[in-house]
Structure 1
Amino acid sequence: MALTSIALTPRIGSEVRLDKAALLAGDHAADIRELLVSRGALVFRGLHLNDEELRTVARSLGDLRIGSAKRGADGKVLTEGDRGVLKVSLDPKVNPDYAKFLFGNLLWHMDGTYEPVPPFATLFTPARLSREGGDTMFASTYAAFEDLPQAEQDDLATLRVVHTMQAALFPAKRDCTAEEFAVWSSYPQRSHPLVWQHKSGRRSLVLSTSGAWVEEMHPAESHDLLQRLMLHATQDRYTYRHKWTPGDLAIWDNTGTMHRAMPFEAGSTREFHRCTLNGEEPITAPDLASARAAATVA
Structure 2
Amino acid sequence: MTLTADRPAAAGAPGVAAPAVHQLGGQLGARIDGVHLGDDLTAEQVATIRAALLTHKVVFLRDQHDLDDDAHARFAERLGPLTTAHPTVNTGSARVLRVTANRGMAANSWHTDVTFVDRVPAISVLRAVTLPPYGGTTVWANTAAAYASLPAPLRALADGLWAVHTNSYDYAQLDEEHDQPDANYSRDDFTSTVFETRHPVVRVHPETGERSLVLGNFVKRIEGLTSAESHQVFHLFQNRITRLENTLRWSWQPGDVAIWDNRATQHYAVADFDEHPREMRRITVAGDVPVSVDGERSVVLQGDARAYARLDELIS
TM-score range, shorter chain: 0.7 to 0.9
CA distance in 2, matches of 1:80, 1:173: 18
Asked if structure 2 preserves the Cα contact closer than 8 Å seen for 1:4 and 1:16, the reply is yes
CA distance in 2, matches of 1:287, 1:110: 22
CA distance in 1, matches of 2:46, 2:37: 13
Q: Scaled by the length of structure 1, what TM-score is found?
A: 0.81
Show the counterpart of 2:218: 210
Show the counterpart of 2:35: 19
Gap runs ≥5 in structure 1: 72-77, 93-101, 289-298
1:136 is aligned to 2:153: no
Counterpart of 1:142, as a letter, is A
The structural deviation recorded for 1:274 is 1.5
1:35 is aligned to 2:52: yes
Alignment length, in residue pairs?
Answer: 269
- Cα displacement string for residues 52-108 of structure 1 (whole angstroms, at most 9, x for unaligned residues): 2212211111112246x324xxxxxx346524222211469xxxxxxxxx9461100
CA distance in 2, matches of 1:175, 1:22: 41
The structural deviation recorded for 1:24 is 4.3
Give structure 1 regions of 4+ aligned residues with deviation exceeding 6 angstroms: none
The structural deviation recorded for 1:22 is 7.3
Show the counterpart of 1:88: 99
**Which residue among 256, 260, 271 is the counterpart of 2:268?**
260
The structural deviation recorded for 1:278 is 1.0
CA distance in 1, matches of 2:113, 2:38: 29
Cα gap change, 1:104/1:205 in structure 2, threshold over 3 Å: closer, same or farther? farther
Supply the RMSD in Å over aligned alpha carbons: 2.9
Instruction: From the two aligned structures, give the one with the greater helix fraction.
Output: 1
CA distance in 2, matches of 1:13, 1:277: 19
Q: Secondary structure of 1:70's partner?
A: coil
**Which residue among 2, 8, 23 is the counterpart of 1:7?**
23
- Cα displacement string for residues 119-153 of structure 1 (whole angstroms, at most 9, x for unaligned residues): 01111111110123110110000100011122221
CA distance in 1, matches of 2:245, 2:251: 18
Gap runs ≥5 in structure 2: 1-16, 178-186, 296-316
Counterpart of 1:116, as a letter, is D
The structural deviation recorded for 1:174 is 8.5
Q: Scaled by the length of structure 2, what TM-score is found?
A: 0.77
**Which residue among 63, 71, 83 is the counterpart of 1:65?**
83
Show the counterpart of 1:244: 252
The structural deviation recorded for 1:204 is 0.3
